[in-house]
Amino acid sequence: MNRLSITRTATLDNLPELLAVADQACERAGASREVRDAVRLAVEEVSVNVITHGYAEGEPGPITLELDWERCPMTIEIADRARSFNPDTLPAPALDAAWDERPIGGLGWHLVRQMVDEVRYRPDPECGNHLTLVKHIHP
């Protein structure tokens, strides 16, 4: 079976377990160090956003991470029941603006998009937000 999955309460205390599963999946898939680092960074950024922003207004709920590398590319599914958030609605960051003219934050999703090959979001009536990250793991 070429799939790993974990569901935890969306807290920073549980972040290391989520990242360990991402690392384990990449290792089992035979991904290069560069791919492993990219997947880990994308999973970390999305998970921290869910934890700190998605559930910010109430009790933390579940976050599910599922990685599947049965076929190339690898898919990374992240689901939560936090308030709805579609990353496609975010404006592109002003990367050419001077540092003192840039708003604080907003680079995380840009970074996620740089780390993976595709980002797909869909609202899910049963689980809230459902994000799919796609990463080619072999050249």
Domain ranges of the chain: 3-135
Q: Which pLDDT score, from 0 to 100, does residue 28 have?
A: 94
**pLDDT tens digits, residue range 27-50?**
999 999 999 999 999 999 999 999
Q: What is the pLDDT of residue 104?
A: 60
Superfamily of structural domain 3-135: Histidine kinase-like ATPase, C-terminal domain (3.30.565.10)
Q: Half-sphere exposure of 35 toward its Cβ, with a 13 Å CA cutoff?
A: 23
The reported pLDDT for the residue numbered 123 is 87
